[in-house]
Structure 1
């Protein structure tokens, strides 16, 4: 897939995916080749990455199962908590919240 296709498939920006791909390339997990036009790059897994995809898929399934188990134990879905936190941070960033609290703390002077 191209970086643009990857970004669209996971709902992230091209810039964000480009940074992730660069990090994965540096780690030896992916390689990039020219795309269909001069502006695009296709991303492919390396043999090292392909060798662990089964383990990664197993870890993902285990993570999803553990989340489902937790959600069965609480009165609201964790996905709702995440969405609520995202909306709160869209209103005001975590950084801004901390910075404000620091200005109110005399020990911060």
Structure 2
């Protein structure tokens, strides 16, 4: 099957799996004192100077509420995050633990190297992939994929609905 015959979700999942698989091999070789998973990276990178709510993390990391909640739970179990005080009991807040801050400090230089490798990959394929993906996201935020399918169904009479 050619890439033009495959859905973008399939290609993105496969690309993500390729990156995550090798990133986890790299993290495992670093002896961080924790079983560090690639899915923790966007969460741990989101932290600045203090606690964050689950909603704040969700907006920064841009995943579903369920995905961020599951990742936060795993990170708490791994000792990277802990519950933080909140002035509003309806809002769960978390913060990096001492271990979490140490892991973030150690990985910061590593992530810079990863970005360099991604830059090299984009030059190799001669496609600014991150820019293209950001543009696709912006387009879908303006008009959802669902709306676009509905529109095509109405104008072209295609689909099974």
The two structures have a TM-score, normalised by structure 1, of 0.67
SS of the residue corresponding to residue 56 of structure 2 reads helix
Unmatched runs of 5 consecutive residues or more in structure 2: 1-51, 147-161
Q: Over aligned residues, Cα RMSD in angstroms?
A: 2.3
Is 2:80 the counterpart of 1:23? no
User: Which structure carries more relative contact order (alpha carbon 8 Å, separation 6+)?
Assistant: 1
User: How many residue pairs are counted as aligned between the two chains?
Assistant: 86
Q: Show the counterpart of 1:8.
A: 59
User: Structure 1 76/27 Cα, relative in aligned 2: closer, same or farther at 3 Å?
Assistant: same
Residue 52 (structure 1) aligned with residue 103 (structure 2): yes
Q: C-alpha distance in 1, partners of 2:56/2:86?
A: 11
Q: Unpaired segments of 5 or more residues in structure 1? A: 92-109
Q: What CA distance in whole angstroms lies between the structure 1 residues aligned with 2:92 and 2:84? A: 6
Query: Would you identify which runs of 4 or more consecutive aligned residues in structure 1 move more than 6 Å?
Result: none
In structure 2, relative to structure 1, the CA distance for the partners of 1:81 and 1:15 (3 Å cut) is closer
TM-score by length of structure 2 reads: 0.47
